[in-house]
Structure 1
Amino acid sequence: MLPLAMSLTLMGCGSTPQTSAHTVLGISTDVAAFVILGEKGQPIARALTHADQCPVLLVDGQALPMDVRAKPETVAQRPTISDPSESKPSAFPILTCEKVIPKGALSASINGQALPLPKTLVNRIVVIGDTGCRMKKSDHAYQACNDPEQYPFAQVAAQAAAQHPDLVIHVGDLLYRETACPEGNAGCTGSPWGYGWDAWDADFFTPGRALLQAAPWAMARGNHESCARAGQGWWRFVDPRPLQVGRDCNLAAHDDVGDYSDPYAVPIGGNAQLIMLDTANTAGKPVPAGDIRETKYRDMYHQMETLSQDAAYNIGVNHHPILGFTAKKDKQGNVMLLPGNQGLQSVLSAINPLLLPPRINAMLSGHVHLWQEVSFSTPHPTQFIAGFSGTEEDVVPLPETLPVGATPAVGAVVDHFSSWVSGFGFMTMERTSTDNNQWLVKVWDRHGKQVNTCHIDGKNSVCDVARVK
């Protein structure tokens, strides 16, 4: 599968005869097209093209010229999480275009490529996360991006697309190819790196092409999309909100604006909704008093609480698990369980000891490179982690049975717990009741084989298998 930016010219495109065609998202056209859901579930058509002008969006037979979101440019090198000697300017040699798809549209297409439109009642959801291929010098981590067995996101995306979802949720961390592959490393030799289009193409748009064609997407922002990492591409390509100067992560001086955004709701029908949260810049440790994150995440809580009044069933979507576990080994090789994100907990616990607004029923997150389910006998929402869709997986096993008293947050009493470590895959959610309080969750491996089944009832969940082997 060729990266989109390196695609070969195949044939002329009748709708744009002045340009040659590229194989983009598997379509013989000069345009990569997909649909992102924004505030109130508004569908937004996005197109990425090497052409000099934006294509036309055809909606129910009516031609709507698309608007320029971002022009081609190379952004001057800015401070990143990497050493300056291991960074470079971000090159975006493509035009990013967009257009809001009118409510009630029955069909939409760009250059002959049909776009998936949102359904009034979403019955089947695919959840993926942490999908990029890890290349990071400071971590001495170089995933074999050239080996589909060791970097299987394309396979995961294709199997997930075969489920014919109504909606795809990505829980964040799309780009991991941050520093150059070392000379002589055959596993990643020749891979693009940095935060420009070529790395975005290789890590997300090319391997994810089948799933981008299958359904509209709701996107959560991960720490890998913070301004000091791939934030420039995040704002250019996939965030649903308007792209504004100063909010684009191009200058570090504006990061206090670019690193944060307000929650928004995506209705999924039947008096249920997603609430999308941007926690990209949270800390792993408690947030110090007076830190801007204290203000931003306090505001996030109150906005989330307000949004939750608009539906009977609310699913929060963010990157960093607030109510999940991580594990590491100490020097003696003993497994230590660690709690949920301490930065978010430190701010949210000062507002509500239960951490989340009372009308939040479930949380979907990533960040931890595994799959996990946690349910509570206390009034906390059930937590699912789906950070297992491509990035090098965690290998420290979680216990089949938690130690007595183990908790991801003060006051949270675990009732049910399930996990899958070191396996790549995706998760599906299927609506099983008309009151939307019940969902069937299935966990699938990279080959499309089901490995676990869970049931959500209100704020609680339980899985068939405690630990997938």
Structure 2
Amino acid sequence: MNFNMTQRLHMIASLAAASLLAACSTVPTQNEQAGKLQAAWVVLGENGQAIARAVTTDTTCPALIQDGMAQPMQIRAAAATLPVRKTASKPEESKASAFPVLTCDAALPANTKTASIAGRDLPLPKQVTQKIVVIGDTGCRLKSNDNYFQSCNDSEKWAFRQMVETAARFKPDLVVHVGDYHYRENPCPEGNKECAGSPWGYGWDAWQADFFSPATALLKTAPWIVVRGNHESCARAGQGWWRLMDPRPLQAGRDCIAEQNDLGGDYSAPYAVPLGRVGSEQAQFIVFDSAKVPNKPLAKTDAAYQLYMEQFKAVNKLADSADFNLFIDHHPVLGFAAESKKGGEMKIYPGNLAMQDIMQTLNSTRLFPSRVQATLAGHVHLFEALTFSSDHPVQFVSGNGGSSLDTALSTPLEANATPYTEARLDHFSNSNDVGFMTMEREQQSWKVQAWNKQGKLITECRMQGKKTECKAMPK
């Protein structure tokens, strides 16, 4: 068959158009991307770098629409089922961690005005952070070693979602989670209706049920600072921590996949997140990874001792960058823990002895550098506020986010009770109501308030320089 030039040109144009249409048909539409998007949020990393992050069941990352322009997101972690490794559970109660999702991220420039993923608007950091919500220890505990199976199917008995929705109504500029997001380690026993059907193990399904689904309202409201808890250590939910949560790049060997690499996967360097200047005061958070810290002092020959020593040296340097520093980690350095004994008596434990031992080597009996005025933690499943007449930072514990609660300590405490031998306690209050904290910056001070899940005020404090005064509200 012979074709003249005009026919040849028409045929080439038709083939080109068909190829273009075929190519376009493979690009997911925004609606298709939205249907596969499992979560989208903003996490703040070193120096306050904002990272847009997304989890999707698609085979490609969704586009990030930034100030009206589309830009690609990078694959942080591809879909995978990770091999079974040694965990904190018995071998017969351990299984491979399945992540049938892509984790994607992209750095957001500081001057970004709007950002969205698959039609979902992202909350952006403000130049000056003024209102902060603090939560911690939020997951639903399923743990056969303790024979403890929380009522994950009852929104009153596991009230994380209810607490989140109350906290979101405060419209914070920033959310801080002080660690322990994941508690669904073992299967719900057969016949237990309170947790029947719950996913378990360390894969995406448990992470989604324990954190991403119930946290949705706050993930939509503000950027997050995420602190690592002991439940996110490599022998527990560390694989998900590195794939989903930590703001730093995911690195082979620091991903908790192979047990022989856990010395790299269980420890990470501290970093600072600036909060901007109010009046003459430049403030920042110093984020510290205490996931593997034990409760008793470490031997000086222990590799962990050397790692933590270098990290606390880094904290001292970071503290020089701001006038007002808030140190955040998972384990309270200056808080109390309590345990109910079988006879009914209450045993009270001091703050973390391993960290105290290392910190006093660097900073004498104050433990913290002079520019650290407050410290936040979780781990103990209570709200606590501790102020000191000695030169020690105020300690807040926000570990009452929804996981199985500890027994509240009776007040007043015994005379001379202290979380650290050199600290003189001035005020102590605590609560085992499920709830959260807010921290609000004012011109010369900070207003710190603890709330229960319905938004009832529990405790109120005022921080100004190194002086903090607190009062508990009548019940």
Q: TM-score range by the shorter chain?
A: over 0.9
Say which SS state the counterpart of residue 426 (structure 1) adopts: strand
User: Is the aligned partner of 1:222 residue 2:229?
Assistant: yes
Tell me what 1:416 maps to. Answer: 427
What aligned pairs does 1:116-195 form with structure 2 within 5 A after superposition? 116-195=123-202
Say which SS state the counterpart of residue 198 (structure 1) adopts: helix
Q: Which has the higher helix share?
A: 2
User: Is the aligned partner of 1:266 residue 2:273?
Assistant: yes
Q: Is the Cα–Cα contact under 8 Å of residues 91 and 196 in structure 1 kept in the other structure?
A: yes
Q: Is the Cα–Cα contact under 8 Å of residues 33 and 118 in structure 2 kept in the other structure?
A: no
Cα distance in 1 for residues equivalent to 2:342 and 2:199: 36
Structure 1 gaps of 5+ residues are 1-12, 23-27
> Which among 374, 380, 384 is matched to residue 368 of structure 1?
380
Count of residue pairs brought into register by the alignment = 446
Change (3 A) 1:431 1:146: same
Q: What residue identity is the alignment partner of 2:436? A: F
Instruction: State the Cα deviation string for residues 162-194 of structure 1 (Å, max 9, x = none).
Output: 110000000000000000100111110100000
User: Is the aligned partner of 1:325 residue 2:336?
Assistant: yes
Cα distance in 2 for residues equivalent to 1:204 and 1:14: 32
Tell me what 2:406 maps to. Answer: 394
* 1:18 CA drift (Å): 9.5
* 1:461 CA drift (Å): 2.2
Tell me what 2:217 maps to. Answer: 210
Range moving further from structure 2, 346-355 or 147-156: 346-355
> Which among 345, 352, 374 is matched to residue 341 of structure 1?
352
> Which among 432, 455, 464 is matched to residue 442 of structure 2?
432
Tell me what 1:86 maps to. Answer: 93
* 1:449 CA drift (Å): 2.1
Cα distance in 2 for residues equivalent to 1:18 and 1:124: 33
Instruction: State the Cα deviation string for residues 234-283 of structure 1 (Å, max 9, x = none).
Output: 00011000000000000110000000000100001111000000000000
Larger radius of gyration, structure 1 or 2? 2
* 1:285 CA drift (Å): 1.5
Cα distance in 1 for residues equivalent to 2:398 and 2:457: 15
Cα distance in 2 for residues equivalent to 1:286 and 1:393: 26
Cα distance in 2 for residues equivalent to 1:117 and 1:18: 21
Instruction: State the Cα deviation string for residues 81-139 of structure 1 (Å, max 9, x = none).
Output: 11111110000000000000011111111111110000011110000000000000001
Tell me what 2:389 maps to. Answer: 377
RMSD: 1.7
Cα distance in 2 for residues equivalent to 1:107 and 1:335: 52
Tell me what 1:201 maps to. Answer: 208
User: Is the aligned partner of 1:292 residue 2:303?
Assistant: yes
Q: Is the Cα–Cα contact under 8 Å of residues 38 and 266 in structure 1 kept in the other structure?
A: yes
In the superposition, the TM-score normalised over structure 1's length comes to: 0.92
Say which SS state the counterpart of residue 280 (structure 1) adopts: coil
Say which SS state the counterpart of residue 117 (structure 1) adopts: coil
Q: Is the Cα–Cα contact under 8 Å of residues 33 and 62 in structure 2 kept in the other structure?
A: no
Cα distance in 2 for residues equivalent to 1:458 and 1:137: 46
* 1:197 CA drift (Å): 0.2
Cα distance in 2 for residues equivalent to 1:18 and 1:386: 38
Cα distance in 1 for residues equivalent to 2:219 and 2:126: 16
What aligned pairs does 1:441-460 form with structure 2 within 5 A after superposition? 441-460=448-467
Say which SS state the counterpart of residue 348 (structure 1) adopts: helix
What aligned pairs does 1:57-76 form with structure 2 within 5 A after superposition? 57-76=64-83
Q: Is the Cα–Cα contact under 8 Å of residues 88 and 235 in structure 2 kept in the other structure?
A: yes
Cα distance in 2 for residues equivalent to 1:339 and 1:260: 24
Tell me what 2:15 maps to. Answer: none
Range moving further from structure 2, 90-99 or 295-304: 295-304
Range moving further from structure 2, 73-82 or 324-333: 324-333
Cα distance in 1 for residues equivalent to 2:148 and 2:469: 35
Cα distance in 1 for residues equivalent to 2:109 and 2:419: 43
* 1:459 CA drift (Å): 2.8
* 1:332 CA drift (Å): 3.9
Structure 2 gaps of 5+ residues are 1-24
Cα distance in 1 for residues equivalent to 2:160 and 2:46: 28
Q: What residue identity is the alignment partner of 1:95? A: L
Instruction: State the Cα deviation string for residues 386-436 of structure 1 (Å, max 9, x = none).
Output: 0001101012x3122121111101201111111112x10111011122x4x
* 1:343 CA drift (Å): 1.9
Which consecutive aligned stretches of 4+ in structure 1 deviate over 4 angstroms post-superposition?
18-22
Change (3 A) 1:49 1:280: same
Cα distance in 1 for residues equivalent to 2:324 and 2:391: 15
Q: What residue identity is the alignment partner of 1:454? A: C
User: Is the aligned partner of 1:44 residue 2:51?
Assistant: yes
Q: Is the Cα–Cα contact under 8 Å of residues 30 and 119 in structure 2 kept in the other structure?
A: no
Tell me what 2:8 maps to. Answer: none
In the superposition, the TM-score normalised over structure 2's length comes to: 0.91
